């Protein structure tokens, strides 16, 4: 393991420690101000809701994106790629699913009720070569190997707890009859601030998990960095086409953008209007991030496409 990769993993774990530590500190302060009974009730409620979402979420995803399991013999080349990658990654082979939408993308998901699944959309099958799809699958199976569904579920519960604490105390301040309205309002307001700050940490952690999955693809797919770089550039460009021609589908996919290999909402259409495919790929790969893009990235579940492509370019053999 090279030093750069080790440094990245340490920074990712440090972010997780900061998220947990910040949450514990903030809730501890609230304990001291108002007691612990209501906090435990809120925490338990949020935890139960998130566990239910985790268990039954795959069924909702299947319904939302018209996902069906691939039939025996269907997409055999992709099945073979999943088999190779699973063996190299040392994980159980996930089910292959097909999402009947034009948005070119792929995603990994699952729960104890459904098992692990990896889905490809009809759109991605039309625009990427088999080698590029294999690299994308290397990324998605990286999420499975790293248990990102479970990890992000745990992490996302923490800001949700602060959000419900804030909502509860702000609401209580309006109906308080014991003279504690100001204290309740202050606690609620501070909790909203805590929620906002913690959510930024969670988004940063999500971006690091996406980079981690990109790195996984470079390790389990031959010439994976080059193939994934080409695939991501194409997905970014074609996602713009779908956004332009089918805004309803684009809006639907943007609501669950954390699932996908490419964030379908992080597009700048004006950059691509007059370019051919080859020119567009080169343009996306060679641009420098603007200040606005750096700020926008802070609120995204995925690293900026330029950052991802540059990282992969450094890893090309």
Query: 3-class DSSP state for residue 99?
Result: strand
C-alpha distance from residue 39 to each of 46, 165, 208, 287 (Å): 11, 7, 30, 47
Q: What are phi and psi of 135, to 5 degrees?
A: -65, -40
C-beta of residue 260 within 8 angstroms of C-beta of residue 254 = no
C-beta of residue 142 within 8 angstroms of C-beta of residue 16 = no
C-alpha distance from residue 227 to each of 21, 116, 182, 224, 240 (Å): 38, 24, 58, 5, 20
C-alpha distance from residue 251 to each of 82, 210, 263 (Å): 29, 22, 12
Q: Of residues 132, 134, 140, 297, which has the active-site annotation?
A: 140
Q: Is-catalytic flag, 316?
A: no
How many angstroms separate the CA atoms of 54 and 194, rounded? Answer: 24
Contacts of 244 (CB under 8 A, 6+ apart): 269
**Residues with active-site annotation:** 140
């Amino acid at each position: 393991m090279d030093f750069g990769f080790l440094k990245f993993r340490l920074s990712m774990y440090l972010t997780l420690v900061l998220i947990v530590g910040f949450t514990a500190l903030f809730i501890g302060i609230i304990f001291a101000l108002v007691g612990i009974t209501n906090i435990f009730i809120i925490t338990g409620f949020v935890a139960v809701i998130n566990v239910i979402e985790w268990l039954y979420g795959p069924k909702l995803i299947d319904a939302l994106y018209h996902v069906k399991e691939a039939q025996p013999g269907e997409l055999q080349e992709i099945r073979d790629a999943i088999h190779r990658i699973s063996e190299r990654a040392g994980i159980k082979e996930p089910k292959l699913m097909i999402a009947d939408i034009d948005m070119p993308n792929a995603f990994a998901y699952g729960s104890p009720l459904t098992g692990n699944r990896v889905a490809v959309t009809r759109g991605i099958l039309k625009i990427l070569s088999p080698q590029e799809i294999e690299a994308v699958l290397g990324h998605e199976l990286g999420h499975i190997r790293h248990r990102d569904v479970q990890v992000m579920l745990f992490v996302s519960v923490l800001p949700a707890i602060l959000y419900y604490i804030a909502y509860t105390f702000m609401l209580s301040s309006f109906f308080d009859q014991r003279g504690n309205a100001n204290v309740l309002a202050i606690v609620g307001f501070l909790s909203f601030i805590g929620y906002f700050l913690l959510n930024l940490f969670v988004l940063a952690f999500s971006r690091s998990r996406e980079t981690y999955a990109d790195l996984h693809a470079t390790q389990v797919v031959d010439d994976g960095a080059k193939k994934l770089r080409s695939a991501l550039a194409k997905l970014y460009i074609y996602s713009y086409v779908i956004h332009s021609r089918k805004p309803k589908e684009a809006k639907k996919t943007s609501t669950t953008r954390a699932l996908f290999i490419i964030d379908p909402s992080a597009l700048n259409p004006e950059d691509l209007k007059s370019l051919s495919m080859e020119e567009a790929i080169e343009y996306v790969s060679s641009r420098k991030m603007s200040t606005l893009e750096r700020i926008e990235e802070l609120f995204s579940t995925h690293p900026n496409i330029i950052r991802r492509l540059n990282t992969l370019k450094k890893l090309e053999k």
